[in-house]
Structures are given as structure tokens and as C-alpha cells.
Amino acid sequence: MIADGPLRFWLDYVEREGALCERKSEFAEVLLPSNLQRSLQLPEALRVTSDPEVAAAESALLLMPGHAALDAAASEVLSRGDVGRGYVPWPASAAPTATTLITQARENIGVEHGRIDLDRDPAPIYYPFLRVGALVTYTLDDRFVEREEACVDARAGTLATEDLRRRILGSSLIGVADTHHTTLGPELGRAIAGAHAALCERTALRSRTLERQAQSALREECVRVDAYYAAALASLAARSESAEARRQTLLDAQAEATRLEHRRRVQEIELKFRVTREIAPFRLHVVFLPALALNVVVRRGERRYPLRLDWLLPAARFATPCCPRCNTCAPLIAGRSSLHCRGCSTDAMSA
């Protein structure tokens, strides 16, 4: 079986496009349809490998990163995008009891001035998360591409914890739920905004890191440019001292032009070492996690406020609850007339 990742990707791609492939241990026999022959600029029948020695021995095409046929396949896949949905299989282990969940809610959610009590037994559901993949092109004296991923709660728009992100990425998804439990729909607008904010923050941090790493090269180039123009101005000044008045005027104008050219060149260098970035999303997956919907009431004295909490089974933690009034994710307060967040309290006080 072929182990090389890029070669496996290329073979998978051409097979999806109608090619016939016979995979062997070190190379593959490929028969391309006419459309792939034209787009990849390859013959109808060929052998491909990622091993230089095998390529020489078998008269095979050496297909490695950087080859035009591999780049063309990757560009085509990225231009189409990768959109889909999948389910994490329902766990076989026993679900936590309602008593356990209420204890966890009181310890980890908490409501100011309120007490969380059980309203109804937990109900099994599927809870949505959004996985967004993007290619980020950085330009800093050179141009290179890095891959970034963000995983967000598709109802609250908040970034998933690192542990939950790893669990989602490491899960083998199935296309259809293996139970008949209710599936909660994602709020895609909110989720995409959360993922975009996370990617922007992460790439901005990466840009600042790259700029710090480039400071030494920036200073060295500025020193060389400063030395060059300083020598040019010194030469003009020396010539001006012994020149006639008419010639001095010309040399003074030339010196001013040299100073302007110096400033322009320094600005060019600073711009060259300033990072620019472009984020191009290519993956948008909605992943449904096994969860338990826990309907509770928040008590403040005789007052009772309904609230639903969602326990994520793979992560053994609650999803971030949103304010019932404004739908933002913030600490909750059991007020005298409603259950709301700190932001709602501030708005009410300032109104």
C-alpha cells in the first residue's frame, strides 16, 4: 500500500475525477480520462511514484510536493471547498445521572443570587460544533502559506477548548446519526463570526511574531541603506565646498533629491518587512456531538427561572450557556424580575 501522503491524495483525487488506478506497494498504474489529461498535462497511461529510485527503475513519473500535477490537483480541491456535516458516534458507556449533572452545573456554571435545581430528567441530543479550516498567505519579504483551524460552538459562537478541539478532530465521523435522538440546528451566522474572529486573532498574533523575527534583518538592511546614502551626501557636500556658486546650487538640489530618495528607500524597506496576510477558508464542517439536554430552574427565593444546559458527552463538560435575554455568553444573574447576564444589568442601569 502506498504510504506517501501527497501521492495518496493525488491518486484519490484522480480516481474521484474518473481515472483508473492500480495501486502497488511503491508505485501506481494510472489511466487518465481526457479531461484530466488536459488539465494536468499528462498522458493517458502512466506510472507514478514518490520514490526517486523507483521512478528510475520503473520509468515512472516522480510525483512529489512542488510538481505541477500535484499543485494543480490541490488548487482544484481548494477552489471547490470542503463543506459537510458528520456525527460523532454515540458512546457505549453509561451517561451521567441527573444528580451528577446538577452537581456539575452548580460547581461549574453557577448563577449569581440563584440556585440551580433539576426541572426534568436529561434528554439525549446531538449538539453542533463548527470546524473551519483556512489557508493563510503571509507576505514578508517572501510569500508562504500556513494552515489554520478553528473549532467553535455552533450555537454560542464561542471557541472550543483545546481538549474538545482535539477530540473533535480525532473523532471518526459518521454521515448519519446512529440513534434517533434530536439534533440541534447550528446558528451558522453566529458560528462563522466566532470562527472568523478566532482566525483573525490567531493570524494577527502570528504576524506580530514574524515581524519580531524579521527585526534583525530589517535593521541590517536599514544600516546598509543609511551608510550608502550618507556616503553619497558626504561626497556631494565635499564637492559643493570647492564648487562655484552656480555649481553649488545644482549640487544642493542633488543633495535634497538624494535625501528624498533615502527616505523613500527606507519606507520601501519597512514596507517589505511588514507582514500582510490573507485568510482563505476552504473547510466548513458541522460536527454533531452526543450530548444531554438538562432542563433546570434557577431559584431566587420563590422566583423560578427556566434554563437549559447542554452536557457534551465527549468532553464531560457543559457547553457555554447563553443569556436568555440578550443571547450573549456571559455570567448569569438571577435578578428580581428575570434571569439575565451582567451586560443586561449594565444596560438596565445606564438606561
Q: Are residues 76 and 89 in the same domain?
A: no
329 and 197 fall within a common domain: yes
List all residues 6 or more positions away from 70 whose beta carbon is below 8 Å from its beta carbon: 6, 9, 10, 63, 64
How long is the chain? 351
Residues 6+ apart with CB under 8 A from 131: 149, 150, 151, 168, 169, 283, 284, 285, 286, 287
Structural domain of 265: 215-274
d(CA 309, CA 325): 15
227 and 337 co-located in one domain: no
Q: Which of 45, 80, 115 is the last residue of a domain?
A: 80
Neighbours of 276 (CB within 10 A): 11
Q: pLDDT tens, 110-123?
A: 788 889 999 999 99
Look at residue 1 in the predicted model and tell me its pLDDT. 64
pTM over 0.95: no
- All cell numbers assigned to 27: 508505485
CA-to-CA separations, 67 to 6, 14, 15, 33, 42, in angstroms, rounded: 10, 15, 19, 20, 12
* End residue of a domain, out of 47, 80, 113: 80
203 shares a domain with 297: yes
Q: How many domains does the chain have?
A: 3
Q: Which pLDDT score is estimated for 347?
A: 47
Q: In terms of domains, do 312 and 167 share one? A: yes
DSSP string, 242-263: TS-HHHHHHHHHHHHHHHHHHH
* Grid cell 534583518 in the structure block, residue: 217
What are 302's three cell numbers? 420563590
Judge if 162 and 73 occupy the same domain: no
Both 196 and 288 in one domain: the answer is: yes
Distance in Å from the first CA to the final CA of the chain: 69
Say if residue 173 is in the same domain as residue 222. Answer: no
Same domain flag for 95 and 201: yes
338 and 299 in a common domain: yes
The H helix count followed by the E strand count for the chain is 10, 15
The CATH number linked to 24 is 3.30.360
Residue 99 amino acid letter: T
The verdict on 35 and 75 lying in the same domain is: yes
Q: How far is CA 177 from the centre of its chain?
A: 26
Residue that is last in its domain, among 227, 250, 274: 274
Q: Is-contact 130 188, C-beta < 8 A?
A: yes
Measured CA to CA, the distance from residue 19 to residue 29 in angstroms comes to 10
Query: Residue ranges of the chain with pLDDT lower than 70?
Result: 1, 3, 345-351
Please tell me whether residues 93 and 242 are part of one structural domain. no
Cell numbers 434571569 correspond to what residue?
339
Output the nine-digit C-alpha cell for 67: 510538481
The candidate with the shortest Cα–Cα distance to 30, out of 68, 72, 60, 54, is 60
**pLDDT value at position 350?**
41
pLDDT of residue 349: 46
Residues 134 and 289: beta-carbon distance below 8 Å: no
